[in-house]
Amino acid sequence: MRPLVPLTGADCFLRAFDGEVRRSAGASHLSQLVLRLGPGFDPARLRAQLAAAAEEAPILRAPIRRPYGIGAPVYDLRRAASAPAPRVEVWEPREASRGGTSAQRPIPEVFFERLNDRFAAARGELLRADVVPYDGGAAGSDVALTWLHMLFDGSGSEAFVRWLDERFRGVRGPGELPGGDGLGDVAPPPLGAGRGRQAQQWQRQMSGFAARPPRSLAGPLRRVRQALRYELDTYGALETAAIAKRATEKAGFLTPMLYYLAAAIRAHDAVFRARGVDPGAYLVPLPVNLRPKGAEGAVFRTHVSMLWFHVGSEQARDFDGLLAALKAQRRDSIKAGLVEAGVAALDYARFAPSRLYARMARRSFGGELCSFFFAFTDQFLPGVPSFLGAPIENAFHSPSVPTSPGSSAILSVRDGRLNLTHVHQQGVLGEEECALLRRRLREDLLGVA
Amino acid sequence: MTQRIFEILRDEILEVDASFTPRSDLVEAGLDSLAVTQLLLALEESTGIWVDESLLTPENLASAEALAACVAGLAE
């Protein structure tokens, strides 16, 4: 691996919002993966595996900086050796959390606190782990891995957990990085005139949204301390099977994400309507995984482009009509080459000052970025029943969302059960609004609205 | 139709070797959400028929042959 590993364009997109979150909300733009484990977990094993992983993959603790203050930012592997290994901290469960199964236990408060933390990226603090054992681990443990979002995307974080477990079980030997992680060496393709035109095409699309700008539940960005929490809804196996069947029938076997996106838009719309507010339009980015064949297991950096969906609020009134509009937009965007255009635009933006990048995005929409964040990542850690010797009872993603838009809906399926993580900035939604959002989402997913 | 779909998949969309045939499972061969839409767009260009994603069941994606039968059904 080269000593200075360039960030991908998508990394820089996330880095731009990290800068914004630092300045406006006093936190970092982080993501989190939570494992709810059965008995048998030993934090010392995690500490040992993370230390060994950091030796083998120094990017895990490499300071991120712009060499000589200019140019595209890089992971500086030369300075990684002097940075400490990712920290693992063990916490006592709070009184209310002591009893019950993992499904009954509340999410540990320390996980929310960590999601609102500020990481020292320039000193190589990119990843931390928090462990809450119950009855000393005999009754199970909750584990949260929290990282600077640009280090892994959702797929990468699952590949990382898989890698740690494979190392622990001896399935993968020391130094054997998961498949395709030679990608860590690959610099983004050169920026020629063709890619410049693609970037301009993407810019034109974004500018076009300004004719009907989105409005988020939080409203335009303002300086307010980040205070994210999330609720987890885990659907039963029968409900999940029914939802998957409906999603396939309405949106297609390989493209069910639009079904979930339609439900998420209508769930936010229900809150706006309860407020008596017409948001005018919804604008939501949908990540597109761009790992090439053979690199599915790649862990590090962000390998995504984004498709943007823009619908009028009147289209949210009817689920099937909304879904049809989303399908048409997806088809038109892919036909127009906007997946590739998005990559080109993000690659160009690597050279722009982060502050300028974020500011440009918000200026077009009156201080808004988008309506909310959304992801449907389908199967979560398929084929990984345990982690470092303890059975995985449930697992889900809980990425942070900027204080504006202040709300995100993240969905994935673990062991045949759908998990919805609704991450939101405290104060953006009232308790009843949170309940309404989740209830409407559930009704639409199950088709009982 | 089977041959056309097979050629689009083999030459333009999937990275496959000589073991890929009109009877190969498309998902196992690497057809994903982005690739399937690129396939549908290529099919629309060559046949004028747009196949709605909701018709793409696991059965219709079992092979190029199965998908061709689905498209042929729409053309009738």
- Nearest chain A residue to B59 by CA distance is A253
In the prediction, which pLDDT does A180 show? Answer: 60
How distant is the Cα of A22 from the closest Cα of chain B, in angstroms? 34
Question: Quick one: A242 exposed, middle or buried, by C-beta within 10 A (0-12, 13-18, 19+)?
Answer: middle
In chain A, % of residues over pLDDT 90 = 73
Question: Quick one: A171 exposed, middle or buried, by C-beta within 10 A (0-12, 13-18, 19+)?
Answer: exposed
* Better-scored residue on pLDDT, A348 or B31: B31
Residue A378 Rama label (left phi>0; alpha psi -120 to 50; beta): left
C-alpha separations of A3 from A52, A67, A160 in Å: 19, 11, 21
In the prediction, which pLDDT does A122 show? Answer: 87
Query: Which residues does residue A226 pair with via DSSP β-bridges, in sequence order?
Result: none
Task: State mean pLDDT over A157-182.
Answer: 85
Same domain flag for A43 and A144: yes
Examine the pLDDT at A65 and tell me if it is beyond 60: yes
Per-residue pLDDT of chain B (76 residues; tens, 9 = 90+): 899 999 999 999 998 999 999 999 999 999 999 999 999 999 999 888 899 999 999 999 999 999 999 998 887 7
A138 part of a folded domain: yes
Examine the pLDDT at A98 and tell me if it is beyond 70: no
Same domain flag for A55 and A179: yes
Query: Which of A92-96, A340-344, B23-27 is least confident?
Result: A92-96
A154 part of a folded domain: yes
Alpha carbons A192 and A385: distance in angstroms, whole number: 46
Task: State mean pLDDT over A318-336.
Answer: 97
φ, ψ of residue A48 to 5 degrees: the values are: -65, -45
In chain B, which residues have their Cβ closer than 8 Å to the Cβ of A253? 56-58, 61
Q: Can you tell me which residue has the tokens 């209508």?
A: A266
Which segment, A7-16, A124-133, A338-347, is predicted with the most confidence on average?
Answer: A124-133
In the prediction, which pLDDT does A377 show? Answer: 95
Band (pLDDT 50/70/90 cuts) for residue A17 is confident
CATH number of domain containing A285: 3.30.559.30
Examine the pLDDT at A442 and tell me if it is beyond 70: yes
Alpha carbons B35 and B61: distance in angstroms, whole number: 12
CA neighbor of A153 nearest in space, from A303, A378, A346, A307: A303
Alpha carbons A257 and A306: distance in angstroms, whole number: 13
In the prediction, which pLDDT does B27 show? Answer: 94
- Residue A17 belongs to what domain range? 4-184
In the prediction, which pLDDT does A182 show? Answer: 54
A395 part of a folded domain: no
Examine the pLDDT at A69 and tell me if it is beyond 90: no
Band (pLDDT 50/70/90 cuts) for residue A429 is very high
Task: Quickly count: other Cβ atoms within 10 Å of residue A224's Cβ.
Answer: 17
Same domain flag for A340 and A210: yes
CATH number of domain containing A91: 3.30.559.10
Alpha carbons A342 and B65: distance in angstroms, whole number: 34
A245 part of a folded domain: yes
The CA-to-CA distance between both ends of chain B, in Å, stands at: 13
Predicted confidence (pLDDT) per residue in A210-238, tens digit? 999 999 999 999 999 999 999 999 999 99
Alpha carbons A138 and A129: distance in angstroms, whole number: 20
Same domain flag for A162 and A203: no
A441 part of a folded domain: yes
Alpha carbons B46 and A299: distance in angstroms, whole number: 38
Quick check: B53 contacting A, CB < 8 Å? yes
- Nearest chain A residue to B53 by CA distance is A252
Same domain flag for A350 and A209: yes
Total domains present in chain B: 1
- Residue B20 belongs to what domain range? 2-75
Examine the pLDDT at A185 and tell me if it is beyond 60: no
Query: Which residues does residue A12 pair with via DSSP β-bridges, in sequence order?
Result: none
Could A339 and B52 be called an inter-chain contact, meaning their C-beta atoms sit closer than 8 Å?
no
How distant is the Cα of B56 from the closest Cα of chain A, in angstroms? 5
What b/e readout covers A67-78, taking b as 16+ CB neighbours within 10 angstroms?
Answer: eeeeebbbbbbe
Same domain flag for A25 and A116: yes
How distant is the Cα of B54 from the closest Cα of chain A, in angstroms? 4
CA neighbor of B37 nearest in space, from B63, B4, B12, B74: B12
Same domain flag for A156 and A214: no
Same domain flag for A85 and A9: yes
Alpha carbons A153 and A143: distance in angstroms, whole number: 18
Residue after which a domain boundary falls, among A150, A184, A218: A184
Residue A276 Rama label (left phi>0; alpha psi -120 to 50; beta): left
Residue after which a domain boundary falls, among A155, A184, A213: A184
CATH number of domain containing B27: 1.10.1200.10
In chain A, which residues have their Cβ closer than 8 Å to the Cβ of B56? 252-255
Residue after which a domain boundary falls, among A127, A150, A184: A184
Could B40 and A331 be called an inter-chain contact, meaning their C-beta atoms sit closer than 8 Å?
yes
Same domain flag for A292 and A321: yes
Which 3 state secondary structure label does DSSP give A216? Answer: coil
How distant is the Cα of B49 from the closest Cα of chain A, in angstroms? 14
In chain B, which residues have their Cβ closer than 8 Å to the Cβ of A293? 15, 30
Query: Which of A101-105, A299-303, A430-434 is least confident?
Result: A101-105
A361 part of a folded domain: yes
| Prediction pTM value | 0.95
Quick check: B58 contacting A, CB < 8 Å? yes
Which one of A251, A289, A330 has the shortest CB-CB distance to B54?
Answer: A251
Same domain flag for A320 and A413: yes
Enumerate residues 25 to 44 of chain B having a beta carbon within 8 A of any beta carbon in chain A.
27, 30-34, 36-38, 40-41
Query: Which of A9-13, A187-191, A201-205, A234-238 is least confident?
Result: A187-191
Tell me what the pLDDT averaged over chain A comes to.
Answer: 92
Same domain flag for A299 and A335: yes
Alpha carbons A433 and A67: distance in angstroms, whole number: 46
Predicted confidence (pLDDT) per residue in A231-272, tens digit? 999 999 999 999 999 999 999 999 999 999 999 999 999 999
In chain A, which residues have their Cβ closer than 8 Å to the Cβ of B37? 255, 330-331, 334
Predicted confidence (pLDDT) per residue in A356-388, tens digit? 767 777 888 999 999 999 999 999 999 999 999
What b/e readout covers A109-126, taking b as 16+ CB neighbours within 10 angstroms?
Answer: ebbbebbbbebebeebbb
Cis bond before residue A108 (omega within 30° of 0): no
Alpha carbons A359 and A277: distance in angstroms, whole number: 26
A223 part of a folded domain: yes
Total domains present in chain A: 2
Q: What tokens were used for A238?
A: 């029968």
Predicted confidence (pLDDT) per residue in A403-426, tens digit? 999 999 999 999 999 999 999 999
Which 3 state secondary structure label does DSSP give A209? Answer: helix
How distant is the Cα of A251 from the closest Cα of chain B, in angstroms? 5
Task: State mean pLDDT over A302-307.
Answer: 89
Answer whether A400's CB lies under 8 Å from A30's CB: yes
Could A327 and B52 be called an inter-chain contact, meaning their C-beta atoms sit closer than 8 Å?
yes
